[in-house]
Structure 1
Amino acid sequence: MLMKLQLLYTHTPIFAIVNTYTDKAEQVSNNTVTKQIIPLKNGTSIVKRVQKNGVRRNQDTQLNKQCPEKNSDDGVVQETKVDMHTTCSTKCVSYGRIIPSILKDLDRVQDVDEALRPWENKIDNKKKSIILKQQMKWDRALEIFNWFDQNSHELNVNHYNIMIRILGRAHKWSLLEGLWNQMNARGVVATNSTYETLIDVYSKAGFREGAFFWLETMRVQKNGVRKNQDTQLKKRCPEKNSDDRVLEKRKIGVHTKSSTKWVSYGGIIPFILKDLDMIQDVEEALRPWEIKINNKERSIILKQQKKWDRALEIFNWFNQNSHELNVIHYNIMIRILGKARKWTVLEDLRNQMNARGIVATNSTYGTLIDVYSEAGLREDALFWLETMLEHGIEPDEVTMVTVVQLYKKAGEFQKAEEFFRKWSLGEPLRPNNHHMTDALEFDERTSFFNASFGSHTYNTLIDTYGKAGQLKESLETFVKMLKQGIPPTRVTFNTMIHICGNHGRLEEASSLLQKMEELQCSPDTRTYNTLISIHTKHNNIDMATKYFKRMKESCLEPDHVTYRTLLYAYSIRKMVCEAEELITEMDEKGLEIDQFTQSALTRMYIEAGMLQWSLLWFQRFHLAGNMTSECYAANIDAYGERGHISEAEKVFLWCQERKNLSVLEFNVMIKAYGIGKCYDKACQLFDSMDTHGVVADRCSYSSLIQILATADQPHIAKPYLKKMQMAGLVTNCIPYCAVISSFVRLGQLEIAEGVYKKMIRHGVKPDDIVYGVLINALYDAGRVKEAVSYADEMKRAGLPGNTVICNSLIKLYTKAGYLKEAQETYKLLQSSEEGPSVYLSNCMIDLYTRQSMVDQAKEIFETLKKNGTANEFSFAMMLCLYKKIERFDEAIQIANQMRKLGLLTDSLSYNNVLDLYATAGRPKDAVETFKDMVTASIQLDDCSLRSLRNLLLRYGASRQALDKLQVLMKKDASHGLQAWMSALTSLLEIDVYGNE
């Protein structure tokens, strides 16, 4: 446990321990630094380095004077004086030759001159570049750059580019301006790399106008026109126009594409897009370019707009200024407006198209179907498909795929498959237009069946079949794709792996990964995530772990999905060590653990019996202060479900300390108290909700009422039910049913009926379960008429009744002798999936027996025999029925079957058989049955003796003699039994003599 505790401290930020190590270079150098440990309030500490020889040399150049940190007396400079070079020694060594030694000296020696002087004659241009690049602090890099400059070292454009990037990243715009001016003064010509670096650093700093300035400067330089850079830079520098910042932000920001994207178009497009970005008024921005914009450029300009209203404004400007707008421009606008969900504007645009006679193309309808489908407006999307077909336009492959995806998203896989089948075979896509299909068109589309589709089409079809659970069709489509020579994409393989995994075909999923590698289609993170997921779902955790390792070996970075999938798999299997290894990895990579995973791991520790460890794990997230109510509730529930009430209480109190309590935490804590049978605490907690400003909800009341009712404390639950009713939170009869059932279990039927009547008065409708509880309770109490009245009430309410209630009703009706009602209910059971039980069938046979309804009873009995479910009671009831109507031969056949099947086991069955033989005048069979009863140690009762008495009386025995036998049986059972046996034996002798 101690080792595990140390491990948690290692990878848990809350328990992080700041370890400070002494650098080897600091141990051997005379100019080393000392370390001052400064304690913080949270118990950790920081290391502050203090320079022993704190004498700074004067810096001579103007750039040095511009560094504000160099003249600071507030201690900030102390932090920049040492450890200027932070790259590890292994990185330095990788450069070879003298670079590692130079970088080491610069790292150890504060004075640049002292550090670089010994190497001065050995540093060439390449080494200067490496030295500058390796500086992680801008002021140290500038100091070194100035030393090179002062000591007549050649500084070329590459060195200036490096310094521009360093100063730009540090947002030192004034220094960067000075460097640029110095570059121009010395005649160092800026290259493409220079301008790209300038554009990049200004863009990343959020100063787009500055970035655009350098973009335009680059264009001007290419055309051989040199502008006054100093003046322009000062005007554009973000630090020098602070008063204009609000205005500038208001004027720009419409267009969000990067400058490099604009440049890639070439021609005038970058400048038009730049003007549209900087100038709010479209007229002002586009008027200078009006005569130069062609159709293609209009398309690009519209496509590049990310805001629908800006795009529409530009589109309208083109329209108002008599620019040609063709179907392509309308298609672009349809997509933009559709993505923005501006359906009214889109409809106006379509009307404008029609009014101007611009004919919609395949692409137009495909776009309309796509945008409506993406918005979840299935009916509208299908309307446009229907409109398309009405106009005689057959979908192309792209549109077909869009329609298939539409059906797939709606879960209508059969329709998706049917649409593709008809399209590929060239069959009419509208069921009512067979006669309208043009022959030529039919021939053209029939050829699609043998045509090779694009990978996007195959991917969509494979995914559609997969989601429909049609593995065979998915595989066939995949094979067809390969035969057609269409190279599967990463999406294809990922989809196929997912489908195979969902069907438990793990070996095929693994072979698909091998196929990917054979076709040089590199797996991505999603590929491995899918493999890990399907193997964990099929309980092959070892293979999932292997894929995780293989993923990292392939230089692919696991993402949150990877870790979450594995952590959950490990947690439910109590694989603590493996889970902790993953947690350590995530902490090292700075990946956050989501709250679902956090609660899952809490459960893991609990189930592994590591309660203290689970609390430490919880505290890590609790102290971070980012836990939601749902997460607190999940942790409380984790402890509560397993009966760890004290730990659940701790989590609840910690949540209370954060003042994060919501009704969710109260509900799960009440549930925990119920599981722990702490009923008083559950009530107290519920009652305290008001003091915490939390209002109980339906779940709060229902949970508490259920807990108390289950604990046979309905008297305590009843007032909470009343409060729940007054709060208007009772929406069904479930809480009433719980209380009624609890009173019934306690035998307090009057109170239970009183709760039922209150429920009716409040307008809450009972369900079949409530009626079943009351009917069964009254039936068991012998109050058959009242039970029947509830059954009638249930019928009037139109409740169909489930199997349980039907069972109760049949018991009730057969006992009360309600033949018609019993038959109706039994038919309902026969039509149900489960069918009637043997017990209920026997009840019906019993009812038919009492009514002497032989055919109906025989039908049920024969069905039971056919199903092999007829039991001893079934045979006994039929025997009684035949005996009752004096069909002794059939009754004797039943008795013989009972003997043969071994169904004579209790006194009731023996008595029925014994009485049959006595009534039918079969003394020999009766005596044998009597002997079987004695042998089987079946206790003779009054029914047995009565049957034997009647038999002996029938053959002339005197009543006085039989009375003596009965008295003897009561006084001495053993002698009495022998006397009865002797009398019966004599009877047999008389019967044999008489027959002779």
Structure 2
Amino acid sequence: MTNKVAAAASSFLSRTNELGTLQQSCIRILSFCESNSSRIGLHIHCPVIKFGLLNNLDLCNNLLSLYLKTDSIWNARKLFDEMPQRTVFAWTVMISAYTKSKEFVSAVSLFGEMMASGTHPSEFTFSSVIRSCAGLRDLSHGARVHGSVIKTGFLGNSVIGSSLTDLYSKCGKLKEARELFSSLQNADTISWTMMISSLVEARKWREALQLYFDMIKVGVSPNEFTFVKLLGASSFLGLEFGKMIHSNIIVRGVPLNVVLKTSLIDFYSRFSLMEDSLRVLNSTGEQDVFLWTSVVSGFVRNLRAKEAIGTFLQMRDLGLQPNNFTYSAILSLCSSIRSLELGKQIHSQMIKVGLEGNTDVGNALVDMYMKCSASEVEALGVFAAMISPNVISWTTLILGLVDHGFEQDCFGLLMEMVAQGVEPNGVTLSGVLRACSKLKSIRQVLEIHGYLLRRHVDGEIIIGNSLVDAYASLNKVDYAWKATRLMDRRDDITYTSLVTRFNELGKYEMALSVISHMFADGIRMDPVSLTGFISASANLGALLNGKHLHCYSEKSGFSSSVSVSNSLVDMYGKCGLLEDAKKVFEEIAMPDVVSWNGMVSALASNGCISSALSAFEDMRMKGFEPDSVTFVILLSACSNGRLTEMGLEYFQSMKDTYNIEPQIEHYVHLVGILGRAGRLEEATGVLETMQLKPNAMIFKTLLRASRYHGNLSLGEDMANKGLALAPSDPAFYILLADLYEESGKPELAQKTRNLMSEKGLGKKPSQSSVEVQGKVHSFVSEDVTTMVKTSGIYAEIESIKEEIKRFGSSYRGNENASFHSAKQAVVYGFIYASPQAPVHVVKNKILCKDCHDFVSILTRLVDKKITVRDGNQVHIFKNGKCSCKREETTYVFSYEAFNKNDKTLL
């Protein structure tokens, strides 16, 4: 057809000489031109310029339309600028062309020129420029155009109304969008569909569905695009809603074209109903590459690798050439299943079909190589070969480098990205902030925060959450709270980040305070945040708070969550309530290795060593493979239980039976087991044969064993080696000084303490806390800063000591340990807790012998259960005995002589 038209044009022009006839001839020829006849347009353009025919509006408008049909927007603008007169049609088609090609700035600018020229816009002009304002999210300019619409009397026009509705909704003004829609007279299908689409994009899915019902009620028929939007909402509303929409499509007889079929396939695949997706695929004969790609993507989403590859091959056999989206989906599958070999095969296929330069495919390749390869080299090679990397390309590269441990390079990449004119998005900045957190670089976090404030993009929730997490991870708690308060909107991720980071920092009271902020924002706890709050309660010893959270988990239906149940097992175990821990564990429908580890740990830490080892055997018998954490628990149990040979057997079985490579914490416990047994030579042999480099903790463990067994030379050696690694750790000086003291060398002990003082090193204060009536009270050893609280407690401690003497105990107490924090917390709980309530104390250090004896005797005098969890284990005191089975203090008084109702102790 094109050749015939060209020949006719040439013949016709060669025979005509009259100018008027020439103009009509050009118009007639242009009317015959098809959208792919761009060269003919050039032939016509030449005589138009040569013979000065630019004044002919019909001719210029036809030529302008031809350029725009052939996507030659540059030539169209050149002709437009040459036109001495421009009709509203010329302005409109030019503005519309810019809008369609997403050159929104050019469209808005040209509209400004149009208004300045005095040309009155049509409804289609307004519609196009408003859509450009929506694309720019430029509410200010859009509102001015809205004002022009009102002035020119177009208010109420359904075409313009639909565009304005879209503008306001995309700019976050959903209320104004609803009001505009309501003001439309005789709103048509497009207007209703646009409003439904706006609600779906705003995540107002139920409102979108209700609007559809209203649309049906007023008698406006939906089209395929209406149903496409509704299916998008149904993906979030649930399967039944989507099925209802599908049935409406069938009942209303809406043809299942490829667009609608693609949406249906995508909907069913989101609910893992791939068989239904295949039925939709085969329901009609109309198929294309996008439809088949949606099926491939569905199988990928559901990690059905075999079917995804099979569908990919089947579509090729049918003659449908996979496009960039198809290859991206398959590469996404490779990333998910970590299949580097398959990824490389797909890469070679893409090169054969000429898609290696496609940005979307390049992005998927970078992601695949970053996730599947142990090296970052291949991903960097793909990125370097990309012609026009976009924001997704840069973001994928940055996130991959963070995962590969190249955090230091991410900040520089961000700067390079900005320098090349690529604007980072929320995910990019979130990834860089994560890198800064890993690097512990507060300076770079502050720099990024400044960049966000300058660009006015700190309001995005993903960026706000990342800032909160970065500040909290760097112990900048005030900054984290301030960043939280400045966020326009907070979600469950915001508060989960806070509670997680506060737990990591040991700020458990602050972690629990997050609950009130969540509820003030109307955000309910989910299983992840709930687990964090239960963990904070466990570590703080806030048993009452933990029980409230347990009730909340039951009422909210989260008790079926394994992570929540695991955290409850841990909490009850740490609070000395083994029966409650067992009950929660037994109610877990499908326990995992973490569940078993929690139960074994609870038993071991509460002194039930044989029960803990028995639980481990049950774990093995039920087919659960122990992991690295399991063996840390077992070795710790053997160390506390002085089960030397069994501990050695467990350590040996790690690699021999379970192929678990021992880590430094396993070696620390191994050295502890040998050290406690007095096998110091074997313990030092471990240091010489282990493949890992010893850390300060392992030297500290051997120094402690040396002190226990009075081996001065080994203790000095361990202290020197430990201080070489951790010169600021006061524990080495304290242990060495005690060793000198106990070895009859007081002058060296004093010299060591003096050296510690000269270096400005102080002993970390012992801190203990006790929960009374739901509130946690903290105490520090020999605390003189809060005299109002402690002076009374000190007096009570002295009173109890006198009472112990009066009833004939040999306990006299160590004056240096008179007011240790554990004593203060125990006595405070003993006095102020209700008579029936047990006392539960948490101490940050190992309970000393003096405090242990004091609490033990106290429970002999009064019928009270007292639990003390120290840095090593849980001590449950009852009737003068402790679960740790430490050697008991000798009593020389008659227990019967003590009247349980005697209040002199109080």
Q: When the two structures are superposed, what TM-score results if normalisation uses the length of structure 1?
A: 0.36
Q: State the structure with more CA Rg.
A: 1
Return the structure number with greater relative CO, CA threshold 8 A, min gap 6: 2
| Superposition TM-score, scaled by structure 2 size | 0.40
